[in-house]
Chain A
Amino acid sequence: MTPYIGTAISRIDGHAKVTGGAKYAAEFNVPGLVHAFVVVSAITKGSIARIDASEALRVEGVVDVLTHENRPRMADTDDAYKDDVAPDGTPYRPLYDSKIMFSGQPVALVLAEEWEIARFAASLVHVKYEQEAHLTDLYCQREVAFALPEPAKPRGDAAKAFAAADVRHQGEYYVPIEHHNPMELYASTVTWDGGGKLTVYDKTQGVQNVQRYVCSIFGMKPDDVRVMSPYVGGAFGSGLRPQYQVVLAVLAARALERPVRLVLTRQQMYSLGYRPAMIQRIELGASAGGTLDTVTHEAITVTSQYEDFFRNETTWSGLLYRSANAKYTHKLTRLDLPTSCDMRGPSATTGVYALESAMDELAVALRLDPLELRLRCYSDRDQNNGDLPFSSKNLLECYRQGAEIFGWAKRNREPRSMRDGSELVGWGMATGVWEALQVPITVRIVLTANGHAEVACATSDIGTGTYTIMAQVAADALGLPLDNISIKLGDSTLPQSPVEGGSWIAASVSNGIVTTCNAIREELLVLAKNLPGSPLANATRDEVTLLDGRLVNRRDASRALSIAEVMRVSGVDRIAQEKSTSFANDGKHAHNTHSALFAEVKIDEQLGVIRVTRVVSAVAAGRILNPKTAHSQVMGGVVWGIGVALHEETLIDHRFGRVMNANIAEYHIPVNADIQDIKVIFVEEQDNIVNRLGVKGLGEIGLVGVAAAIANAIYHATGKRVRDLPITIDKLQR
């Protein structure tokens, strides 16, 4: 039997998704459902002076209007509102009091028998505010940003080395606020199960995180709240923390003792988390020979007034390239906005964009091919972290294969030197890096005598293919056909899983499945040994494997028993095992994934219209569980990278503190016309250290580096360096 791991299998949930069989949070219908609509704040900072809901309440079909004044009791401590992945600070409490901390903050919840009635009545809720002056502009606040603890230990003396370097580059790079814009709207359907019990269908990347959060805010017992999220229509980090709609939906269900559904509008989703805007400054000093002497990376990022969210943009710089001197600084600015949060490759998408743009500029200053510069600065150690070697790092092969397929050797180094008719042609490259993280996880498997197995874990499939890879790994480890495996996930009552994020679930859950399958196999072996005349009577547990529905002695395949027979004869109709897996770091290796990106742009010389005509992404990320879903994931990362480079920007009018492009007509992401030839390559990377299967994650690496490769290609085409994203047509004219 060909192993399923490593085979390009179509998604096992694909049929359900394209036929509408897969249900999302807003699609669970129950009788007597109450529909909720949120009224949001028109001001950015201040307080609610008065809410008049009388007109709304008079509308036929309106059940109630909840505000901070009449809502049922909620917890009153910060700790109660801290979810598993909350940053430091005082978490936001929806509908808690009269204080307004950001534009679009919910101020009332209209509950009605029909959604249209709720929406109409919401327009009749009149709110009077006491307004205070607000600040939403990073540039106005950069001077008062406060320093965070050092992101990583500095090495050497970066300032001195910079002053002494043969060739220097310094530059400031800006990334705007971006919003996740998953296709699926944020939604929660709460069913009232009697006896005060609730089932919450929620759009989230972590059902157990939401379950604990809801229990803690409403003082409910764990057994009284079940959170389900079997399918997620994208989230991209915005679903790591519970969002306010789940609090409001539960609040309303408890108030009315009825089932409630709340779906946010697209516009309202622009008042959830976002990728923080940031100013980054990079200093690179190199020898004339093109090796790095020093790197300094400073970042100023934004968060809310009430929580300090940040990720380490800066430390990627001292990790990716060999440099004796390195220094990192990170400052935070508090603005009158919601708390920023993780978004698609948090910190690396932005930090590596700045670094890889700066490296391109250094290559220009050195008159060196940018790929050659990367090779001369190559690091096979994590200098930020005790100079540890990597568990595996096949970045050199990414560079080699990527460059070959792209045709990089034919590049003329001079800007504006390549053209195609009326278009300037630019070729740019960049490196990508991410962490190969893994988290403790528990998997339960129930094997039945008919040769079927159910694999259960509370993780989510946020659209990445988790259902499919879980089934592949289980099928291989149990020696069963893929069709005999069923997967249960996205249910808080299932065995423990952290939120799905950070690219850590594929590695964690796949190894977790192997752990549990091993326990199943051992239990089968015990049964098999006890059978009369068993051919496996003397087999040790390491000698047997599960293959083609049989328990087989590896050393002698003729010594085998069918699983079904072992169970039947033993009088066992099911074998259930639930095992936890944790990942001990040996402390001797750094775990990372890497990529090399090559991009071609064509830019109309007269008009400045930019087309990304080719991208090659060569990825080294350990063993690839499913080349098809992996390809989709990395290709999606490239598409998002084109968006980061050319399109994405949340526009805030700082006079009002309001997002002015809060819809996906005006908040641009790439459309099909913007996407041309994308080639994805996975280079061989055998890793016997990172974990048993040698699997690393792919969730973020596809995006990291893409924006820089495109920005560098645009420079190569035009000779113009744009250091603030997105690179739009007006910026090329400046």
Chain B
Amino acid sequence: MNSFQYSRASDVADAVRQMGADPTAKFIAGGTNLLDLMKEDVERPTLLIDITRLPLRSVEATPGGGVRIGALVPNSDLSYHPLIEQRYPVVSSAIRAGASQQLRNMATTGGNLLQRTRCAYFYDAVTPCNKRVPGSGCSAINGINRGHAILGMSDSCIATHPSDMCVALAALDATVHVAGPNGERAIDLADFHRLPGDTPERDTNLDRDEIITAIELPARGFAKNYTYLKIRDRLSYAFALVSVAVGLEMDGDTIRQARLALGGVAHKPWRDSEVEAALNGQVASPETFERAADLLLRPAKGFAHNTFKIDLARRAAVRALTQAANGTPQSQSSKKIV
């Protein structure tokens, strides 16, 4: 771990200003990922700008029927917030599927978006990793890659994004509000995280001197027909091998509007508009779901240890669509898959 300075941001503008002034500074909020990375010498910021006192802790209904979530709202508070539980239960469920209660208490909404991959090579400062040291090579492609990407990877990087919450946010068409030296802007969550391409060191389209201030959810919450199904190597406290967030608007047996996002399979939450379009207007049935899942995984590609994830993702997508259509969302406390 390196030696670093610590400062406290007085307001959002001050945070942005401090960040702009020091090219090796980092914001710190919950620190649930950054501190680990610092201990492993993966991140070596010279300045930590503490943003925990910024007024970004509220969850408020918006005039358009949506909800605006401050970037510093702890994951656990968000998960149990009445507005979220009632209108966006898929977000509550996804958060509870992730990490442990202690981590969820510390982790913030904005920080959750910015957590970095758990690829073991990224964490081990001794091995080559293009994400950590651009141009050094990807150790995972020919290494231990059981947990790695099956979609959207590149020759430079096959890491996955580890978040559960973001998979649900992706399915809901969330928007990320950010502030920077040139004012505020909004980024669709779908465009927030990047595929690795040949710049895997960049996880997101957030500029270095920008700060996330809020996440906004649109009115449509899929509160009746939704699920978050997470498949992992033990029944809690493990990253997803594959996870699926589903939101459906049903009209009897017919799907009016479908949302389907995969986690644990790519460098970002994975959505495919073609697959969702193909579900819209269809009668909910095993055949419909199988077809959609096949389509969703058609571009998938496996490596030495993770090829099983392709079929697992396909089956999990079918199951999650079934759960959502039946109105029987996956419980995150009973570990039996419904």
Q: A residues near B, CB below 8 A? A: 42, 59, 116, 119-120, 123, 265, 267, 422-423, 602, 604, 606-609, 611, 646-647, 651, 653, 655-656, 658, 660-661, 665-666, 668, 670-674, 728-730, 733-734
Contacts and interface: CB of A to CB of B under 8 A. Distances in A.
Contact of A609 (B124, B231, B311): B231
Contacts of A423: 336-337
Interface string B114-126: 0000101100101
Contacts of B143: 653, 655, 660
A666 B120 contact: yes
B335 A673 contact: yes
Contacts of A730: 146, 305, 308-309, 312
Interface string B227-245: 0000101111110010000
Given A123-B1, A423-B336, A653-B127, A733 B312 contact: yes
A120 B308 contact: no
Given A423-B336, A730-B146, A733-B308, A670 B121 contact: no
B3 interface: yes
Contact of A656 (B126, B146, B231): B126
9 closest Cβ pairs, A-B complex: A673-B236, A730-B308, A673-B235, A660-B120, A42-B126, A604-B337, A671-B237, A671-B236, A120-B3
Contacts of A658: 124, 126-127
A541 to B, nearest CB: 58
B143 to A, nearest CB: 5
A611 B335 contact: yes
B12 interface: no
25 contacts: A59-B3, A123-B1, A123-B2, A423-B336, A606-B318, A607-B319, A611-B235, A611-B335, A647-B233, A653-B127, A653-B144, A655-B142, A656-B126, A656-B139, A660-B144, A661-B120, A671-B235, A672-B236, A673-B234, A674-B235, A728-B233, A729-B308, A730-B305, A730-B308, A733-B308
Given A120-B1, A422-B337, A658-B124, A729 B118 contact: no
Q: Name, among B1, B233, B236, B237, the residue most crowded by chain A CB atoms within 10 Å (CB to CB).
A: B233
B41 interface: yes
A376 to B, nearest CB: 37
B136 to A, nearest CB: 13
A260 B20 CA distance: 42
Nearest to A119: B1
B224 to A, nearest CB: 22
B2 A653 contact: no
A660 B233 contact: no
Nearest to B1: A119
Nearest to B119: A660
Contacts of A267: 40
Contacts of B40: 267
A609 B240 CA distance: 12
Interface residues of B, number: 38
A604 B336 CA distance: 8
A204 B253 CA distance: 64
Contacts of A609: 231, 235, 337
Contact of A729 (B3, B139, B312, B336): B312
A656 B127 contact: yes
A733 B315 CA distance: 12
Given A267-B40, A656-B126, 17 more contacts: A120-B2, A123-B1, A606-B318, A607-B319, A607-B337, A609-B231, A609-B337, A653-B139, A660-B120, A660-B143, A665-B118, A671-B234, A671-B237, A674-B234, A729-B308, A730-B146, A734-B308
A730 B236 CA distance: 18
Nearest to B237: A671
B55 to A, nearest CB: 31
Contacts of A661: 120
B91 interface: no
B237 A607 contact: no
B127 A607 contact: no
Interface in B313-338: 315-316, 318-319, 335-338
Interface in B1-18: 1-3
Contacts of B235: 609, 611, 671, 673-674
Contacts of A607: 231, 312, 315-316, 319, 337
Q: Name, among B120, B231, B335, the residue most crowded by chain A CB atoms within 10 Å (CB to CB).
A: B120
Contacts of A660: 120-121, 124, 143-144
Q: Name, among B2, B3, B118, B235, the residue most crowded by chain A CB atoms within 10 Å (CB to CB).
A: B235
Contacts of A608: 312
Contacts of B1: 116, 119-120, 123
A600 B323 CA distance: 26
B126 to A, nearest CB: 5
A666 to B, nearest CB: 7
Nearest to B333: A673
A65 to B, nearest CB: 16
